[in-house]
């Protein structure tokens, strides 16, 4: 799998931060079949970008105009006033919206609707990212080396693509 030293080097983050995450990341990768150097590099790069290099497991809240629009979004299952804030992005790949919290919680055997803060715990944050990876069949795209396709599935666009590619290249180099 991947060591704390490799994570720190790949994401240019402090070793203490990498040590906090490497065991739960390895467990999630094992659980969800992220099991080749190419897949691991793609996963770590995406998780690294989405979490600010393993610094954030909860979306920073302004609210920005985009965040203000979370309330009332039926595609996210946000049906109660305040759902946008309550079910803001959490976890290493930023689970967002009541419906997604419910889906992820059911799959992981957790009540994330009643306890959304559970997604901020390292093991749950890592497992939710692994689950997302598996549910969206991202290993296929990782095997093809298609960082843009992975980014679209995670982000809905190609925001941060340059950094994601750079993190993928750094992680690949540390794993080889």
Respond yes or no: is residue 169 known to be catalytic: no
- Choosing from 9, 30, 31, 59, which is the catalytic residue? 59
Respond yes or no: is residue 5 known to be catalytic: no
- Choosing from 26, 78, 100, 139, which is the catalytic residue? 100
The label of the residue with tokens 């980014």 reads 151
Is residue 15 within 8 Å of 8, Cβ to Cβ? yes
Q: What is the CA radius of gyration of the chain?
A: 15
What is the rounded distance in angstroms from the CA atom of residue 9 to the CA atom of residue 61?
Answer: 29
| Pair of tokens at residue 12 | 């240019």
Neighbours of 92 (CB within 10 A): 28
The label of the residue with tokens 């946000």 reads 78
CA-based nearest residue to 132, from 145, 146, 119: 119
What three-state secondary structure class fits 58?
Answer: strand
- Choosing from 26, 50, 78, 139, which is the catalytic residue? 50
Respond yes or no: is residue 163 known to be catalytic: no
What is the rounded distance in angstroms from the CA atom of residue 9 to the CA atom of residue 26?
Answer: 16
Report the catalytic residues: 50, 59, 100
């Amino acid at each position: 799998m991947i060591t704390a030293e490799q994570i720190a080097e790949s994401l240019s983050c402090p070793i203490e931060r990498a040590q906090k995450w490497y065991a739960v990341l390895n467990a999630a990768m094992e659980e969800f079949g992220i099991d080749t150097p190419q897949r691991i590099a793609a996963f770590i790069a995406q998780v690294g970008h989405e979490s600010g290099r393993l610094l954030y497991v909860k979306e920073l809240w302004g609210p920005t105009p985009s965040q203000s629009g979370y309330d009332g979004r039926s595609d996210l299952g946000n049906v109660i006033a305040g759902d946008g804030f309550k079910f803001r992005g959490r976890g290493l790949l930023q689970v967002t919206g009541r419906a997604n919290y419910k889906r992820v919680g059911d799959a992981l055997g957790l009540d994330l609707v009643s306890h959304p803060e559970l997604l901020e715990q390292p093991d749950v944050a890592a497992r939710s990212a692994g689950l997302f990876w598996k549910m969206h069949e991202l290993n296929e795209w990782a095997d093809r080396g298609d960082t843009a396709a992975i980014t679209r599935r995670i982000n809905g666009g190609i925001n941060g693509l340059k950094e994601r590619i750079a993190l993928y290249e750094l992680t690949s180099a540390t794993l080889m």
